[in-house]
Structure 1
Amino acid sequence: MALLVKVVLLVAVPGFHADVQTIPYPPLLEKLYKSFGKSDASNRIGESIGCYSISTFAFKNNQVINPYVPPDAAREYVQRVSQNPAKRRQKRGTFLPPGQYRLRKEYRMMSTTERNVFQTCLQELKERYIGDMSIYDTIAAIHKEDIDVHNGVNFLPWHRVYLWTLENALRDLGGNCSQVTLPYWDCTAEYYANTLVPNSAAQSIIFSERFAGLGNGAVTDGPFRNWNLSRQVSESWELFGRDTIEWLKTIGTNDLITSPGTYYSIEFYHNMIHRFVGGYLSSITNAPRDPLFFMLHCFVDAIWEEIRQAMILRGLDPTVYPNVTNEGHKGPQPMDVFTGWTNEEGFSNLWYERHVRYQPSFSCRPEGGDTCKNTEGVECIWNEYSMQQECTAFRESATESSEPQTVTTTPHPPTTTLPWWFWFWKKRKRRAATSHNINDYGSSHTTIAEKDKVHVCDSHTCPSAPTSMQNTYTINGVTDSALWVYLPVKVIFIRPPGLKFHTFPCYSDGKVAAFNFTQDIFDPAFNVDLKRHLHTGKGRPYDYCRINDAGSAKIYIRSDGINYDGNSMEYASLDERYPISSQKAFIAIKDPTFNVTEVCLMAYDSCGRLCLPTCRRKGSAVYQPCTGCIRVNNKHPKMYGRTVADIVADQWTFNSIDDYEFLDPTESAENIYLKFVCDASSKFPWQRQKPGVY
Structure 2
Amino acid sequence: MILKAFGVKWLLLCIVVCLPGVFSRIKNMPLTPQLETCYKRFSNVSLNRVPGTFITWHCESSISLSKIPFRLPKSEHHYLNGLNRRIMEKSKNNRGKRQATRCVRKEYRMLTTQERNDFHRAVNGMKQNTIVRPNVYDALAMLHSEMQILKAHGGPCFLGWHRVFMLMFEMALGDEVPGVCLPYWDSSLDNELENPAQSYMFSSELMGNGDGAITSGPFAGWRRPSDPNNPNSRPSPVLRNVGADGQLYSRESIEMILSRSDTSEIIAPNSDPDYDIEVHHGGIHIYIGGDMEALVTSPFDPFFFLHHGFVDYLWELFRIKLRNQLNIDPQTNYPMNHNIEFHSRDELMDIANFTCGAGYSDLLMETVEYEASPSCTQQRPTCDSPYLRCQLNTGRCIPITLQETPLPMNPGSGPVTNPPPVGPGLPPPVGPGLPPPVGPGLPPPTGPGLPPPVDQCAHIEQERHNVKPCQNSYCVNGICDINQWVYVPVKVVTIRPPEYNRYNSFPIINGDVSMTNDIYNPSGYSRTKKIIQGRLGKTPKGYTHCFEDGIGQIFVQSQGLNYEGFYKESSVIDQRLATTMSIAYVAVKNPGRGVTRALFRASDSCGRVCHTSCKNPRTGKFEPCSGLIELDSRYPRMFSKNYGDATLDIWDYGNGNGMGNECPMFNDDKFFLTFYCDYQDHLPWVDKMSAPPMMPRMGPKPQPPPSFHTQQCRVSPTCVLNTPCFSASLQCRFYGETHQCAGACGHYAVCNYGHYKEKICIGGTVFSETMNRCTSTPCGGQVGDGLPSWHVFANAGANYMKSLGSRMLSGSAGASAGASIFGGKR
Task: Please confirm whether the aligned pair reaches a TM-score higher than 0.5, indicating the same fold.
Answer: yes
Equivalent positions of 1:195-234 (< 5 A) are 196=194, 200-227=195-222, 228-234=237-243
Deviation at 1:415, TM superposition (A): 5.9
**Residue deviations 1:549-585 (CA, integer Å, cap 9, x gap):** 2x11111112111111222211110101011110000
Counterpart of 2:330 in 1: which secondary structure?
coil
1:375 corresponds to 2:381: no
Name the structure 2 match of 1:264: 275
Name the structure 2 match of 1:109: 110
Counterpart of 1:303 in 2: which secondary structure?
helix
- Check conservation: 1:488, 1:584, Cα contact below 8 A: yes
**Residue deviations 1:580-615 (CA, integer Å, cap 9, x gap):** 110000112111114210111111223332211111
Name the structure 2 match of 1:517: 515
1:162 corresponds to 2:162: no
- Check conservation: 1:412, 1:420, Cα contact below 8 A: no
Distance 1:161 1:290 in 2: 19
Deviation at 1:371, TM superposition (A): 7.0
Identical columns (%): 29
Residues 284-293 or 241-250, more deviating: 241-250
Distance 1:252 1:285 in 2: 32
Q: 1:649 to 1:243 in 2, by over 3 A?
A: closer
Name the structure 2 match of 1:433: none
Name the structure 2 match of 1:450: none
Name the structure 1 match of 2:248: 239
Name the structure 1 match of 2:737: none
- Check conservation: 1:604, 1:611, Cα contact below 8 A: yes
1:150 corresponds to 2:163: no
Distance 1:463 1:190 in 2: 22
Counterpart of 1:646 in 2: which secondary structure?
helix
Which amino acid is 2:487 matched to? Y
Distance 1:153 1:370 in 2: 40
Deviation at 1:136, TM superposition (A): 0.8
**Residue deviations 1:173-201 (CA, integer Å, cap 9, x gap):** 3xxx11111111110022222xx3xxx21
Name the structure 2 match of 1:357: 369
1:188 corresponds to 2:222: no
1:343 corresponds to 2:343: no
1:249 corresponds to 2:258: yes
Which amino acid is 2:243 matched to? S
Which amino acid is 1:191 matched to? N
Distance 1:111 1:16 in 2: 68
Which amino acid is 2:134 matched to? M
Name the structure 2 match of 1:392: 398
1:606 corresponds to 2:605: yes
- Check conservation: 1:192, 1:391, Cα contact below 8 A: no
Q: 1:640 to 1:101 in 2, by over 3 A?
A: same
Higher relative CO (Cα under 8 Å, sequence separation at least 6) belongs to: 1
Q: TM-score, normalised by structure 1?
A: 0.79
Which amino acid is 1:618 matched to? P
**Residue deviations 1:337-385 (CA, integer Å, cap 9, x gap):** 232x343343233344x3111221222468xx96764333333447xxx
**Residue deviations 1:217-253 (CA, integer Å, cap 9, x gap):** 2222222221111111234633332233334334342
Equivalent positions of 1:5-154 (< 5 A) are 15=21, 18-41=24-47, 45-58=51-64, 62=65, 64-66=66-68, 70-87=72-89, 99-130=100-131, 132-147=133-148, 148-154=151-157
Name the structure 2 match of 1:436: none
Distance 2:110 2:505 in 1: 49
Q: 1:600 to 1:16 in 2, by over 3 A?
A: farther
Q: 1:627 to 1:327 in 2, by over 3 A?
A: closer
Residues 309-318 or 593-602, more deviating: 309-318
Deviation at 1:286, TM superposition (A): 1.5
Distance 2:647 2:618 in 1: 23
Counterpart of 2:178 in 1: which secondary structure?
helix
Name the structure 2 match of 1:286: 297
1:682 corresponds to 2:681: yes
Distance 1:372 1:485 in 2: 53
Equivalent positions of 1:166-565 (< 5 A) are 166-173=169-176, 177-193=177-193, 196=194, 200-227=195-222, 228-235=237-244, 237-260=246-269, 262=272, 263-314=274-325, 315-324=327-336, 328-339=342-353, 341-352=354-365, 354-364=366-376, 373-381=383-391, 388=394, 390-396=396-402, 398-399=404-405, 412-414=451-453, 416-419=455-458, 466-497=467-498, 499-505=500-506, 507=508, 515-534=513-532, 535-538=534-537, 539-542=539-542, 544=544, 546-549=546-549, 551-565=550-564
Q: TM-score, normalised by structure 2?
A: 0.67
Q: How many residues align?
A: 607
Distance 1:639 1:547 in 2: 35
Name the structure 1 match of 2:800: none
Structure 1 residues without counterparts, runs of 5 or longer: 1-13, 402-406, 426-461
**Residue deviations 1:230-278 (CA, integer Å, cap 9, x gap):** 1112346333322333343343423323334633322222122112211
Counterpart of 2:554 in 1: which secondary structure?
strand
Which amino acid is 1:346 matched to? G
**Residue deviations 1:111-155 (CA, integer Å, cap 9, x gap):** 222212211221121112145411111110001222222222221
Distance 1:374 1:181 in 2: 19
Name the structure 2 match of 1:458: none
Distance 1:647 1:122 in 2: 42
**Residue deviations 1:306-353 (CA, integer Å, cap 9, x gap):** 1222223203322224242557434455432232x343343233344x
Which amino acid is 1:597 matched to? T
- Check conservation: 2:87, 2:167, Cα contact below 8 A: no
Q: 1:687 to 1:101 in 2, by over 3 A?
A: same
Q: 1:372 to 1:265 in 2, by over 3 A?
A: farther
Structure 2 residues without counterparts, runs of 5 or longer: 1-19, 223-236, 408-445, 691-826
Distance 1:236 1:153 in 2: 27
Q: 1:587 to 1:389 in 2, by over 3 A?
A: farther
- Check conservation: 2:592, 2:632, Cα contact below 8 A: yes
- Check conservation: 1:203, 1:463, Cα contact below 8 A: no
Counterpart of 1:129 in 2: which secondary structure?
coil
Q: 1:669 to 1:37 in 2, by over 3 A?
A: closer
